[in-house]
Structure 1
Amino acid sequence: MSAHSSESEDSSSCDGVDKRHLSCCDSGPASPKLTIVVGDTHFSEEKRFLVQSCDYFQALYRSGMKECQQEEIHLKCLHARGFLIALMVLRGEMPVLDGDDIVEAIECAAFLQVALLTKHLINLIDSDNCLLMYHTAATFGLMDLYHAAALFIRNMYPNLEAEVQKTLPSELISYVESLTPSVFVAVGAHVTCGVDETVHAACRTVCYLDETGNNWKVLTDLPLQASTSMAGVTVLDNKLYIVGGVHGLHKHVVESCFCYSVENNSWSRISSPAQLRYNLSLVGVDGRLYAIGGEYERTVMSSVETYDIKTGQWGFAAHLPRPVAGAACTKAMSRIFVCLWKPMETTEIYEYVSRKDEWQLVTTLIRHQSYGHCMIGHRDNLFVMRNGPSDDFLRCLMDCYNLNSGQWSSLPGHFANSRGSLFTAVVQGDSVFTLNRSMTLEYAVEGKNWKPRRQMKGFPRSGSVWTFMLQLPDALMVQ
């Protein structure tokens, strides 16, 4: 963290902020500067940047109050460290926060209504800090973080219950226990079927794992016109989306796209991308679906389209650097990443930067006779699963890339990959669920290591499988 000293000889230290006058965030052409005084620390910032980034300053300059005419504004109820963390996040950094940092950052996010800081805090929730996040968010009324931390605790409750009962007030415990934990959901690859094909339609189901009974149960039937064969399948805001896919031996593209709402236990159609596609990657972030690459009439594409959930409209985004089909894709820290292969033995990871509408090369992984086939995001780590030597898919190898440090590390040993289990991995809290016909295996993610936690019943379907997490209402769970 850098700090610029002022000409004043009177500098002070405030919770790790070493200089009295700090300047962050160059926001292009010059606009009037403001001095923000937090405690005995002065921050010099462009007024336009603060108004665009923060609801508090936006409301302040719409109010007509006398502070609008001042060149210096005092924020008496905040800590300098929290304000500095907010500035770091607003300029695109991802600071790792300890206990005191978290409390002061939540205080700042709540008081100044800094949405990006709230999102960053949500991305940082883990088993070590979730109770602190939850209790502090409740104290300051930061409701998005409050609910996200409560759901994290509920999903990890078997591992956290003793500490929850010991440290949290009863009203906070009651709210956690009132929530329904997310469940592990799977759907096989199915083509569309005719109305009269009732035998074929009977197996076209979306299923969830009942962990208590260690058994798979049917959640819903797929619509007759829906295909999950070579389709894009993802979950966003607790809704399941299916885009594209194929039917028939000649891989005719499916035009209909669907959304399943667990709240209403119903399917609805959504509009199709302008460019029909199959064998695409589909990921959802911040109220948008991203349909990445894929094929059409056996031609591999580099085009990318985004679907705005609120407007129901598709639009094109920046093309990928090169055509790709079935690319490994994930989200981490609310950012989108995709693996692209490049001969020889090179896996390149690109990030889609939405504010610039461009794909940026993040890092390159070179491994002998091996490419990344699946990528999982967990906090600020990207885990890349790849085939073993000489295309040995029964022995999966794994590497980890840390977004903050920019460093690669290899996870020790081989991971059993019978029938592609690790290529369908999905994160819940600090756990990763993997799946094949023989077993469902939950791993505990501890830093950059995966440790087997428990084994449950496998998914009794052959072929490709899509997996994800959904938070189901009690009414669906008792069916």
Structure 2
Amino acid sequence: MMEGSRQTRVSRPYKISESSKVYRWAEHSGTVLQRLNEQRLRGLFCDVVLVADEQRLPAHRNLLAVCSDYFNSMFTLGMREAFQKEVELIGASYIGLKAVVDFLYGGELVLDGGNIDYVLETAHLLQIWTAVDFCCEYLEQEVSEDNYLYLQELASIYSLKRLDAFIDSFILSRFGTLSFTPAFLQNISMQKLCAYLGSSEVQRECEHDLLQAALQWLTQQPEREAHAYQVLENIHFPLIPKNDLLHRVKPAVCSLLPREANCEGFIEEAVRYHNSLAAQPVMQTKRTALRTTQECLLFVGGEVSERCLELSDDTCYLDAQSEQWVKETPLPARRSHHCVAVLGGFIFIAGGSFSRDNGGDAASNLLYRYDPRCKQWIKVASMNQRRVDFYLASIEDMLVAVGGRNENGALSSVETYSPKTDSWSYVAGLPRFTYGHAGTIYKDFVYISGGHDYQIGPYRKNLLCYDHRTDVWEERRPMSTARGWHSMCSLGDSIYSIGGSDDSLESMERFDVLGVEAYSPQCNQWTRVAPLLHANSESGVAVWEGRIYILGGYSWENTAFSKTVQVYDRDKDKWSEGTELPKAIAGVSACVCALKPRLEDKKKKGKGKRPQDHGQ
């Protein structure tokens, strides 16, 4: 019989059951909080009264200490407030305090245009970081051209990095309009102005607009002239046309700013840049750079299979947002089986075939250079030899053209291009005639693999490495698979040799190679990785955003051109298909380069999510 319980006829066993279960009261925490709030509103069991603006608010110390580091320290570290019945909160308003205390008891924070700054002030004082985050989230939705400066000041006062960054993005996206308003010109700080003028995200029609905004700000108040150099060093003067620099910019700067500001040097630097046309790729500074944070994947030229075979002068880039190929300025001449390289933010197109005969008889030695800043192609110094089916590398401050073939047959010569002198010079040649090979750059070394030499027989497995400092070619461990017309690229610590084709020893018929292998320069070893999905002889290759892209190509077994884009994910060791090319194409080249953003691209950019800000 259990003590204090109803008498039973059957004696209680030692254990009623061998099993055990845990039951949870799902509404427990909510119910407790609700009952505590009811007690607070009725004045029951409250052990502290908070005072702000001479108005009183009863509360429970336990709950305040649990929700706020500020109150926890106040009530546990021996401060006098720990023993006071009433605690006056200096720096807090009653409006803000009531909203925050109601939030601690009810979990709901009521914010509107009349109380937001009071609530933010109090939540920040009391270190209620969740409430601070809600305040920032509310303000982000309410930022406008009427209040952004006041909200920026709030962000500065309370060290709200999240809100400050959001308002910066708001200003950058409307800079062309806001920067000429009286409120902006009078109130924006020099540090903020410099940050906006130096940003790649700043909205403007042209660089001249940013210069005008800077000059307007500098001439608002006489004492600002002392900051002229710091402000104008953020203007990309070389992006302004030379004629404008001489006839509009220089007179304006000289008339508005004193000589001792030393700002004419920026204009002189820009004019020197414009006058040194060929050398521009090796004269790059932060002021010559395009205002963009993104690089684009491009393909250039090639042999197109549409109705009948024809060469292409297309230059197209992949718009990542729309997943469509967009046309950039076309090539000055149609080309296939040429090479592309990027140096100093400029795209170089060298050699290739100028007719459908890609056997070498139509080889070109021309070198064209594309400037994405002004979207123009120019012709620079031609190679010493005509070359098709070769490799072009960009390394340090030069280009390196390796092997290939022309009307005289296969080549072993190698030559380098110096933008500084706009000239080509021969360097150490290959140990054998080579064309149809592939190449890549790894840590300032040039690597080439495979290819052929006009002799009867299959393609080669050789891997060669060139050190431009010693002007020496050296053999490395050959590939496990012979191949030509393949692709090579570097990603991470590996060099990849991708696809291509080879000739059968017995029948001498050409067959596709789908195999891919990765070479470790550190270990001098090759390892097989996932094979291609489709044949890719004479395709373009580029590494973009950490993945390998194979563009188009030709299948010898199916005698078919391809518009497929194959994408390799190194982490998953897997190939997938990307956005198709506009046309089936082979003999195409690909590269990655920063391009001048289109105005509509800038307008499309949405507001990204930001991490939570705890006012630190």
Query: How do 1:357-376 residues align onto structure 2 when only pairs under 5 Å count?
Result: 357-367=471-481, 373-376=486-489
Answer with 453-462 or 397-406: which moved more: 453-462
Deviations 1:75-115 (A, max 9, x none): xxxxxxxxxxxxxxxxxxxxxxxxxxxxxxxxxxxxxxxxx
Q: Aligned AA for 1:444?
A: D
The residue number in structure 1 matching 2:53 is none
Give the distance between the partners of 1:339 and 1:186, measured in 2 at CA.
22
The equivalent of 2:491 in structure 1 is: 378
Partner of 1:460: 583
Q: 2:325 aligns with which of 210, 216, 224?
A: 216
Query: Contact between 1:434 and 1:440, CA under 8 Å: does it hold in 2?
Result: yes
Counterpart of 1:405? 523
Distance 2:314 2:399 in 1: 23
List aligned pairs for 1:134-213, cutoff 5 A: 179-189=292-302, 204-213=313-322
Asked whether the 8 Å contact 1:228–1:245 carries over to 2, the reply is: yes
SS at match of 2:524: coil
Of 319, 335, 346, 1:239 maps to 346
1:417 corresponds to 2:527: no
- Structure-2 change in CA distance of 1:328 and 1:220 (3 Å): same
Distance 1:218 1:477, change over 3 A: farther
Aligned-partner Cα distance in 1 for 2:533–2:462: 24
* Counterpart-to-counterpart distance in 2, 1:395 and 1:245: 23
**TM-superposition CA deviations, 1:42-99 (whole Å, max 9, x none):** xxxxxxxxxxxxxxxxxxxxxxxxxxxxxxxxxxxxxxxxxxxxxxxxxxxxxxxxxx
Alignment partner, residue 27 of structure 1: none
Q: Which moved more, 1:315-324 or 1:229-238?
A: 229-238
Query: Counterpart of 2:449 in structure 1: which amino acid?
Result: C
Distance apart, 1:464 and its partner CA: 2.3
Deviation at 1:364, TM superposition (A): 1.3
1:324 to partner: Cα distance: 0.9
Deviation, structure 1 residue 230: 2.9
Q: SS where residue 396 of structure 1 aligns? A: coil
SS of the equivalent of 1:416 reads coil
- Structure 1 gap ranges (5+): 1-170, 192-199
Whole-Å separation in 1 of the counterparts to 2:501 and 2:458: 16
SS, match of residue 573 in structure 2: strand
Structure 1 counterpart of 2:532, which letter? Answer: F
When residues 248 and 428 of structure 1 are mapped into structure 2, their CA distance, relative to the original with a 3 A threshold, is closer
C-alpha change, 1:387 and 1:229, in structure 2 (3 Å) is closer
TM-superposed deviation, 1:451: 2.7
- Aligned partner of 1:440 in structure 2 is 565
Task: Determine the structure 2 residue equivalent to 1:355.
Answer: 469
1:319-364 CA distance string (max 9 Å, x none) = 1010111311111122210114576664111111112111011221
Distance 2:536 2:458 in 1: 25
Query: How do 1:168-317 residues align onto structure 2 when only pairs under 5 Å count?
Result: 179-189=292-302, 204-223=313-332, 226-248=333-355, 251-317=361-427
- 1:7 — aligned with what? none
Contact 2:338–2:589 (CA<8 Å) still a contact in 1? no
Offset at residue 204 of structure 1 (A): 2.3
Q: Is the 8 A contact 2:398 2:418 kept in 1?
A: yes
Measured after TM superposition, the shift of residue 305 of structure 1 is 0.5
Q: Is 2:501–2:537's contact at 8 Å kept on the other side of the alignment?
A: no
Give CA deviations for 1:127-178 in whole Å, capped at 9, x if unaligned: xxxxxxxxxxxxxxxxxxxxxxxxxxxxxxxxxxxxxxxxxxxx9xx96877
Give the structure 1 partner of residue 22 of structure 2.
none
| Alpha-carbon shift at residue 397 of structure 1 (Å) | 0.5
Contact 2:366 2:383 in 1 (8 A): no
CA contact (8 A) 1:190 1:227 kept: no
Are the equivalent residues in 2 in contact too, given 1:228–1:242 (CA < 8 A)?
no
Using a 3 Å threshold, how does the CA distance of structure 1 residues 456 and 372 change in structure 2: closer, same or farther?
Answer: closer
Q: Is residue 2:593 matched to residue 1:470? A: yes
Instruction: Looking at secondary structure, tell me which structure has more strand per residue.
Output: 1
Output the CA distance in 2 between the equivalents of 1:477 and 1:285.
34
Aligned residue number for residue 60 of structure 1: none
Between the aligned partners of 2:330 and 2:425, the Cα distance in structure 1 is: 30
Distance 2:535 2:294 in 1: 28
Instruction: Look up the equivalent residue of 1:364 and give its one-letter code.
Output: P
- C-alpha distance in structure 2 between counterparts of 1:473 and 1:379, whole Å: 28
Q: Read off the aligned partner of 1:349 and give its amino acid letter.
A: L
CA-to-aligned-CA distance 1:435-479 (integer Å, 9 cap, x gap): 234443433222xx6334673233424332211111112137759
1:407: Cα distance to partner?
2.1
What is the deviation of 1:375?
A: 1.5
Structure ranking higher in helix proportion: 2
Change (3 A) 1:316 1:477: farther
User: Are 1:242 and 1:257, in contact at CA under 8 Å, matched by a contact in 2?
Assistant: yes
Q: Is the 8 A contact 1:340 1:350 kept in 2?
A: no
Q: CA–CA distance in 1 between the matches of 2:413 and 2:549? A: 31
Native 8 Å contact 1:180 1:473 kept in 2:
no
Letter in 2 for 1:310: K
Q: Which has the larger radius of gyration?
A: 2
**Structure 1 counterpart of 2:570, which letter?**
V
1:387 is displaced (CA, Å) by: 4.7
SS, match of residue 245 in structure 1? coil
Amino acid in structure 1 at the alignment position of 2:486: H
Moved more, 174-183 or 251-260: 174-183
The Cα RMSD (Å) is 3.3
Counterparts of 1:319-338 in structure 2, within 5 Å, are 319-338=429-448
Identify if the C-alpha distance between structure 1 residues 326 and 305 changes in structure 2 by more than 3 Å, giving closer, same or farther: same
1:439/1:409 Cα in 2 relative to 1: closer, same or farther (>3 Å)?
same
Identity of aligned residues (%): 23
Q: Post-superposition shift, 1:425?
A: 2.5
Could you say if the C-alpha distance between residues 312 and 363 of structure 1 is closer, same or farther in structure 2, counting changes exceeding 3 Å? same
Aligned partner of 2:579: which letter? M
Give me the whole-angstrom Cα distance separating, in 1, the residues matched to 2:356 and 2:326. 30
* Pair 1:428-2:537 in alignment: no
Q: Distance in 2 between matches of 1:182 and 1:273?
A: 28
- Contact 2:297/2:318, CA 8 A, preserved across alignment: yes
Q: Secondary structure at the match of 1:305?
A: strand
Evaluate the alpha carbon distance shift between residue 264 and residue 190 of structure 1 in structure 2; reply closer, same or farther with a 3 A threshold: farther
The structural deviation recorded for 1:365 is 2.0
TM-score scaled by structure 1? Answer: 0.54
